[in-house]
Amino acid sequence: MKQNPIVGCMRWGIWGENFNTKQYETIIDQCLSIGLDTFDHADIYGHYTTEANFGEALKNNHALRSKIRIITKCGINMLTPNRPTHEIKSYDTSASHIRKSVEESLMNFHTDYIDTLLIHRPDILMNPEEIAFILNNLKKEGKVKTFGVSNFTTSQVNLLTKCIPIEHHQVEISLTNIAAFENGVLDQCYSEKIEAQSWSPLGSGIFTEKTEQNLRILFTAEELSTKYNATVNQILLAFLYLHPAGIIPVIGTTKFERIKEAKEAMDIELNREDFYKLLAASTGHEVA
């Protein structure tokens, strides 16, 4: 079953458009007007500033919080002047770090709960029992509603689920990166009823880097866009929407028109042959 795309906020702050509070309010309202209510963040976005920028829009409109769902991530220690104690980029999934990150996100968003918390990257020093302990406490306190991971392997998910259920997995999935179709990630999401979220769903550099793969994909997508009376972007998303794991794309744009375009891609029903035409464009060969 197809689900509405998630609205990615990484480029809304200083890593992109640098929206002011009024612009945050406007684009949030626009998304809600077309039924999109889930917004994707991470503590590190905008060098640890974008959560708070988004939160100013919530601070000014208390009724808005109950209308939206907030996803945020933690676990990366980024090198930035905003975190002067960090000596090197590293990962930290200790209970104390997760607790501190959640409390800071709650302050940033001017809220008392996070709808979904994701561990941003797998930590070599990850202790599943420690993560389960702190997440269970945060859930009991009502500060985190659901829990998931991002960019994990199937074995890492298996390790963690021995101690705590994984409800979401956000990973790169697109026609330029089809690894999740082949490495068991999507199989696992389907079989374990883990919500599959795709970051960079249109493909990394597909419109800016003229690689042979990108040119093949775009040529095929352009042909299909005529057939389905759709845009190229919509064809790239329709490819993901067809998968039975129910992939939810995270649309990381600052333009409402492109967010709306992504939702409308849900109406496209690619046939199987056209799915495999796009897959062949990605790999450079037909299936065996």
The residues carrying an active-site annotation are 45
Please spell the DSSP secondary structure of 103-122, one letter per residue: HHHHHHHT-S-EEEEEE-S-
First-to-last alpha carbon distance for the chain, in angstroms, is: 28
Report how far residue 185's alpha carbon sits from residue 241's, in angstroms, rounded to the nearest whole number: 16
Residue 166 is given by DSSP the state -
| Cβ pair 200, 177 in contact under 8 A | yes
Q: Of 199, 141, 137, 138, which is closest to residue 168 (Cα–Cα)?
A: 199
Q: How many CB atoms lie within 10 A of CB 231?
A: 18
> Largest alpha-carbon pair distance within the chain?
57
| Cβ pair 146, 168 in contact under 8 A | yes
**Separation in Å, CA 267 to CA 8, 71, 242:** 21, 25, 11
Report how far residue 232's alpha carbon sits from residue 262's, in angstroms, rounded to the nearest whole number: 11
Element (H, E) at 76: strand 76-77
| Cβ pair 28, 57 in contact under 8 A | yes
